[in-house]
């Protein structure tokens, strides 16, 4: 059943782990640039840093949204958890965990949420009339965007 927020990834998201020496500045800046170039409205919702005895701990929560048309909007949430972070010249040594979440928000302008009749029509529209478009157009497009992010900066 397709709801207002249609999740294209499992509930726990996709997790990527990386440990060692890597270009953290590059990863941080390039990922934001990718969102801007692909017309996403990007926000760093939370950024926490703590100095601990074994290195710095960084927690970041990002979200980016893109209006696909008047009806659907993509949303990507990315959580970073970095441990044992130490700077080494231009690179950094750390343990990095990244979790991705992605969803398509339907009727993001809330035109079909005004009363129970509209909501019923909204349900019929999504699950019978444009179900094909959601599954064969929106979902692969969003998954492709996710693939690009992961491929470009983490492989």
Partner 1 sequence: MSEKLVIGKELKVKYNGIFDLPDLYRKMKFWLEWNGYGPEKGMEKQYTERIKPNGKQIEIKWVATDEASSYVHKVLEVTFLVIGLESIEIEKEGKKIKTKKGDVEMRFTGYLVLNAGNAMGDDLSYKNWIYKKFILKRNIETYKIDMYDDLTDFQDEAKGYLTMQQF
- Please report, as ranges, the residues that interact with partner 1 according to CB under 8 A: 24-25, 28-29, 32, 41, 43-51, 58, 60
Query: Torsion angle of alpha carbons 104, 12, 26, 40, nearest 10°?
Result: 10
Nearer to partner 1, 24 or 112 (CB): 24
Q: Which is nearer to partner 1, 45 or 147 (CB)?
A: 45
Q: How far is the CB of 10 from partner 1 (least distance, A)?
A: 27
Instruction: Name the residue nearer to partner 1 (CB basis): 108 or 122.
Output: 108
Nearest distance in Å: CB 51, partner 1: 4
Q: What's the closest the beta carbon of residue 88 comes to partner 1, in angstroms?
A: 15
């Amino acid at each position: 059943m397709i709801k207002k927020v249609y999740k294209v990834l499992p509930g726990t998201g996709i997790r990527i782990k990386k440990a060692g020496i890597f270009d953290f500045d590059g990863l941080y800046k390039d990922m934001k640039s990718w969102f801007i170039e692909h017309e996403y409205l990007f926000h760093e919702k939370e950024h926490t840093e703590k100095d601990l005895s074994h290195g710095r701990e960084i927690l970041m929560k990002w979200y980016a949204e893109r209006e696909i048309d008047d009806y659907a909007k993509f949303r990507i949430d990315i959580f970073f958890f970095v441990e044992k972070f130490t700077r080494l010249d231009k690179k950094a040594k750390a343990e990095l965990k990244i979790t991705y979440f992605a969803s398509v928000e339907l009727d993001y302008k809330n035109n079909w949420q005004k009363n129970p009749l509209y909501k019923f029509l909204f349900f019929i529209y999504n699950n019978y009339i444009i179900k094909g478009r959601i599954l064969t157009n929106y979902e692969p497009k969003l998954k492709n965007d996710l693939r690009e992010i992961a491929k470009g900066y983490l492989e």
